[in-house]
Amino acid sequence: MPRRPVIEYRRAFDFGLAPADLWASIERVDLFERWWPWLQEFRMEGESLAAGSVLYGVVAPPLPYRMRIRVELTRCEAPNAIDAVIGGDLEGLAWLRVHPEGDRSRVEVAWTVEMMQRPMRLASRFGLPLLQWGHDRVVDTTVAGFRRRLASAG
């Protein structure tokens, strides 16, 4: 029986800002497309990051496919927690937790998403470890870029 086309991810990252300051940067949704070139057609329904807000976008990695996603925030407690339900070409659950560490923050993130596009489902039958590895590199690059932006803004 083939494995389900699921990407699971859980990791913690350290940031040189207190949780409230880090959260203020996370709330800059108007800059998301500029910060992350793999994110296109981004928009948000809702006034701010809050439970009930919905984020829409197209994930366009450096591969020949694009994924339309919808992220509904089911819990949003500034500056500590976000829970979300993901739909569209990826379906699953995600969460983010921000923990104070002195004047710094430790951010834990986790998600489990199933690839819904037929080509990705087929590719995952033979290449799921490679897809997971590529996903993890994109996340690492995204976090590194976010850290650079935070450092240059401060």
For residue 14, give the CATH number of its domain.
3.30.530.20
User: Domain span at residue 124?
Assistant: 6-153
Q: Is residue 139 domain-resident?
A: yes
**Looking up tokens 């996340």, which residue turns up?**
139
Q: Is residue 88 domain-resident?
A: yes
Q: Is residue 1 domain-resident?
A: no
Coil, strand or helix: which one is 119? Answer: helix
Q: What is the DSSP letter of 4?
A: P
pLDDT digits 0-9 by tens, 70-111: 999 999 999 999 999 999 999 999 999 999 999 999 999 999
**Tokens for 89?**
């070409």
Q: Which stretches in the chain have pLDDT values below 50?
A: none
Name 30's bridge partners: none
Its pTM stands at: 0.90
| Number of domains the chain contains | 1
Q: Is residue 41 domain-resident?
A: yes
Q: Is residue 78 domain-resident?
A: yes
